[in-house]
Amino acid sequence: MIRSLFNSIPLGVRYVLFSAVGFSLMSSLVKLVSVHGIPVMEIIAARCLVSVVISYVDVKRKGISIWGNNKKWLVARGLIGTVSLMCVYYALSTLPLAEATILQYTHPIFTSLLALLFLGEHIRSATAICIALCIIGLSFMVAPDLLSQDHSYLPLKSVFIALLGASGSSIAYVIVRKISNSEDSSVIIFYFPIIALPVSVMLLVISGDFVLPNFQVLIQLLLIGVMTQIGQIGLTKAMQTLDAGVASAYSYIQVVFSVALGWLLFKEIPILTTWIGGSLIMAGALINLLGGRKKPSA
């Protein structure tokens, strides 16, 4: 029964779920190592070092050129993705896991609009409803203080940087969608760490903030790279299979995973509004799924 239910899920949606699990675990690991005093640039460098090796092996396994066909777009995607990654990791290290993830996942709004403007993709009514429900759900989860006397404080600088990272992610996603028909997914994935690695190492050297990790933290740093690669593979495959707006709308499920991990790893116990928000997100994903199915011909 479970297998038949899984097989009934469209391939692109499965890729999104695969990606969400990888990125949720990655976010949790970033927060874990930041507690040990590892700076953001060192985390990025470690993550990209692992990704470069895995990506290079994957490209060579396919017997294709690592440099691709659309070098300008690939470099642009790598540069924008690097800046976005810096913002996202900073937010993860300075904000609670759930809030950092929620702010990051405002990007589908930007993605859908950019896809409409530059790719000519139509935003279906089901996708619009999904995004609306997700935004309402995220509001419940990120701002419970609006409904109670328990006011929480989020650093304005961290919130702004998180939103900047989200907008950068949306641009990177649209670029992936634009070149997906002429570039292999492995090449697209490879370009990101090959650009982010030297940039992060250079900034780490300039800042002089390097911290020698112990064995446990070293393993966690390496796992960040592995989980990131899993997330990137799923995301890139999803963007090649689904419209940019649809794929981004489904990716909201990562928020639910992050809330669960925050509870398990950081003792962040979800309150009622979190469960309400999570339910709205799931409802939006279901509407998007059902709305995307073609009606059988008579």
| Average pLDDT of the residues in 271-296 | 68
Number of H helices and number of E strands within the chain?
13, 0
Beta strands in 48-191 (DSSP E): none
User: What pLDDT shows up at residue 298?
Assistant: 40
Confidence (pTM): 0.77
Shortest CA distance to 173 belongs to which of 97, 115, 258, 228? 115
Question: Is 291 within 8 Å of 124 (Cβ atoms)?
Answer: yes
193 pLDDT above the threshold of 70: yes
CA atoms within 13 Å, Cβ hemisphere of 56 = 8
- Look at the alpha carbons of 269, 272, 278, 282 in this order and tell me if their dihedral is positive or negative: positive
User: What pLDDT shows up at residue 296?
Assistant: 45
> Residue 27 belongs to what H/E stretch?
helix 11-35
144 pLDDT above the threshold of 60: no
Give φ, ψ of 33 to 5 degrees. Answer: -70, -30
Which stretch of 38-42, 60-64, 66-70, 292-296 has the lowest confidence by average pLDDT? 292-296
Average pLDDT taken over every residue of the chain: 82
11: tokens are 């391939």
